[in-house]
Structure formats: structure tokens, C-alpha cells
Amino acid sequence: MGYEKHYQGTEAEKLSVALKDCKEWLGTKAFNKVAKALQQDRGRTSRSFLLIQFAMMGIQGYPAYAMINTYWSPQRDLFDKVKK
């Protein structure tokens, strides 16, 4: 999905359109479930694994990053940076 469309405009406009595309692709009910699951994850799942999961749902590229950056907590990323 994300590699088939080029998102243009300001960052806020691109984010809005990408999230709308995800909602249309998944349907409102599934989109809400995915958003809730990302919020409840609290950063326990790695970003790369989430990208793989989104790819399996047919969401790739910017829309996948938009979902992760909007609904997922980057707590794990912070822990990974501290360990290095």
C-alpha cells in the first residue's frame, strides 16, 4: 500500500492521509483494534517486528510508519539506545 502511493504535503497532511488510507484498507473496526493493540503494547514489541506484522496485513512504507509513530510507544527504542 505505502509503496504504491507517494504522500505529499506537510508532515501533518501526509500523516493524516496515510492514517486514512490505513483505515480504508483495514476497515474501521480492524483499524481501531490495531490502534488499541499498539497503544497497549507500551513498546514491548520491536519496531522492526511491527513493520513485519504490518507488511503481512498489506500495509508497507509510510503508512506503516505513520501507524507506529502515532499509536505505538517508543519505550523499547529508548531502552535499546541506552544499552549501546
Residue 61: predicted pLDDT: 93
Residue 78: predicted pLDDT: 58
Mean pLDDT per block of 10 residues along the chain (84 residues) reads 79 96 97 95 89 95 95 71 55
pTM of the model: 0.81
Residue 75: predicted pLDDT: 72
Nearby residues of 67 by Cβ (< 8 Å), 6 or more positions away: 18, 19, 22, 34, 35, 38, 54, 59
